[in-house]
Chain A
C-alpha cells in the first residue's frame, strides 16, 4: 500500500463534501461496485434500528438482575450478544461499572471508536477534536461542560479505546427507582451516561 502520496487522488473530486460523496457514489454505482439500495439499508439500520436504546436495555437489566450484572462485568460480549447486540464495531465489549469511588468515561483519542451495536453511531461531539484532545487530560473540566460535577473523592478513570475493545459504562442506578421495572429504568438511561459524560435521569 503506498504510504505518503503528496498528490492525494481525493483532490480530483468536487471540493464540496456533499458533492464529493455524490460523485463517488455515482462512479462506484456505474461500475457495479456498490448498490444504492444497500446504502439506503445501511443508513436505515443506523438511523432507526441500532442506537442507544440497545445499551439502555443492557443497563436496565443489569440494575435489576444481579446475576446478569455479574456476568456482564465478567465477560460482556456473549451477554449482550444473547440480547441480540453484536456486530460491526461491537465484537469485543467490556462493561465498566461506576461506583461512589470511581467514575468511568470513554474516549477514542486517535479516531472515533465506539460500541456501535449498543450505542449506534457516535454523536458529533464524541468525534470532535475538543473531546478527543481533552477527555483524557482534563476529564473533570469536560464533564463540567456536560453539567456533571463529581466529588473530589471520586476517582475518574478514562478509557482511551486504542484497540478493538469497545467500552460500555454501567452507571449507578438512581435513587428512588426501587419500584421501577426494566422498561421504566431503561427510559432513564441516556446515551451520555453510557459513555460516562452524563448521569442517568432522575425518576419523575
Chain B
C-alpha cells in the first residue's frame, strides 16, 4: 500500500545534522543546475506539480534510498520527459536528431524568469463540493491510506496518520485534489482542512502527552468520528 517516500515516523535514520544559516544555498554547483533545469522544464506545461511529485515517488525504492535529493529530481525529470512524450529514449542515447522541438516556443526565457517565479501556481479553486466538517469537529482519517482512484497512485495522506482520530482546526478553502490531478483525472477541487491529532493517537510512545501533529487533509481523506 505504501511507497518509500512516505517515511514519517520511520525508525533508524540516525541524527539530524543541522547546518548554520551561512551554508551555501546549493552545496554543489550541479544542485542549482538540477533545480533550474527541473523548474524550466516544468514551464513547458506538460505536467503539474502533483504529476512531478508522483514521478519522484515512483523511483524504485532502491533508487529513492540511494539517490541524493537533487538526484531524485533530475532522474524523475528524465523519466517524466520521456513519459510525457517531450523526449524519447533515443534522445538519451544520442540517436535522435537535433531538429527544433515543437514545444520550443514555450521555452522559458531569461527575461521571463522573475515574473514566472513571482506568479506562482495557487492550488485553491472554486468548488461545488460543500464543506462536510466544522471547526472543532472530530474526524477520522480513512484507512488504509491509499489513492482510491489508481492502485498505488499519488496521495497526500501519510501512512502514519491513517485511521487516526483528530479535530478540525482550520478550513483552508477548496483545493486541487492531488489524488486526481496526478493521474489526469482533472483538478477535482474539494475542501481542505488542517486537522490536529494528539501525538498519542499516532505514536506508541509519544514524547509528551501535550504534543500534537497537524496535517492538511482533503475532505475525501476524512470521515466523521
> Which residues of A line the B interface, CB within 8 A?
1-6, 8-10, 12-13, 17-18, 20-25, 27-28, 30-35, 37-43, 45-47, 51-52, 86-92, 94, 107, 109-112, 117, 120-121, 123-125, 127-134, 136-142, 145-146, 152-165, 190-192, 197
Answer whether residue B168 sits at the interface, using C-beta atoms and an 8 A cutoff: no
Known: A38-B36, A42-B39, A129-B7. 5 other contacts (CB 8 A): A10-B76, A124-B19, A132-B7, A163-B123, A164-B122
Answer whether residue B130 sits at the interface, using C-beta atoms and an 8 A cutoff: no
Q: Which residue of A9, A20, A157 is within 8 Å of B213 (Cβ)?
A: A157
The answer for the CA separation of A138 and B75 in the assembled complex, in Å, is 31
With A34-B108, A112-B69, A155-B211 as contacts: A128 and B26 at CB distance below 8 Å:
no
Which residues from A are CB-within-8-Å of B35? 42-43, 46, 121
Residue-wise, chain B 203-215 has the 8 Å CB interface mask toward A (1 for contact) of: 1000110111111
Q: Which residue of B69, B91, B120 is within 8 Å of A124 (Cβ)?
A: B69
Does the CB pair A152–B208 fall under 8 Å? yes
27 contacts between A and B (CB under 8 A): A1-B51, A3-B150, A10-B76, A21-B37, A27-B87, A32-B107, A33-B101, A34-B41, A38-B108, A41-B113, A42-B39, A42-B40, A91-B122, A110-B6, A110-B158, A111-B5, A127-B69, A131-B16, A134-B13, A137-B8, A156-B207, A156-B210, A162-B217, A163-B123, A163-B216, A163-B218, A165-B216
Does the CB pair A139–B157 fall under 8 Å? no
With A33-B41, A91-B121 as contacts: A40 and B208 at CB distance below 8 Å:
no
Which residues from A are CB-within-8-Å of B203? 137
Residue-wise, chain B 143-177 has the 8 Å CB interface mask toward A (1 for contact) of: 00000001011001110110000000010100110
Does the CB pair A42–B156 fall under 8 Å? no
Does the CB pair A24–B123 fall under 8 Å? no
The answer for the CA separation of A45 and B118 in the assembled complex, in Å, is 11
Q: Is the interface of A mostly helix, strand, loop or mixed?
A: mixed
**Nearest chain B CB to A66's CB is how many angstroms away?**
22
Which residues from A are CB-within-8-Å of B182? 1
Q: Which residue of B30, B40, B124, B172 is within 8 Å of A18 (Cβ)?
A: B30
The answer for the CA separation of A114 and B91 in the assembled complex, in Å, is 34
Does the CB pair A43–B69 fall under 8 Å? no
The answer for the CA separation of A120 and B112 in the assembled complex, in Å, is 19
Q: Which residue of B37, B114, B120 is within 8 Å of A90 (Cβ)?
A: B120
Answer whether residue B63 sits at the interface, using C-beta atoms and an 8 A cutoff: yes
The answer for the CA separation of A39 and B40 in the assembled complex, in Å, is 7
The answer for the CA separation of A167 and B164 in the assembled complex, in Å, is 23
Which residues from A are CB-within-8-Å of B17? 125, 128, 130, 145
The answer for the CA separation of A4 and B196 in the assembled complex, in Å, is 33
Look across to chain B and name the residue whose beta carbon is closest to the beta carbon of A39: B36
The answer for the CA separation of A164 and B178 in the assembled complex, in Å, is 10
Q: Which residue of B53, B70, B157, B212 is within 8 Å of A158 (Cβ)?
A: B212
**Nearest chain B CB to A33's CB is how many angstroms away?**
5
The CB with the most chain A CB atoms within 10 A, among B49, B91, B103, B183, is that of B91
Look across to chain B and name the residue whose beta carbon is closest to the beta carbon of A48: B25
Which residues from A are CB-within-8-Å of B134? none
Query: Which B residues from 67 to 123 make CB contacts under 8 A with A?
Result: 67-71, 74-79, 81-84, 86-87, 89, 91-93, 98-101, 103-104, 106-110, 112-114, 117-123
Which residues from A are CB-within-8-Å of B79? 5, 8-10
The answer for the CA separation of A84 and B20 in the assembled complex, in Å, is 26
**Nearest chain B CB to A86's CB is how many angstroms away?**
6
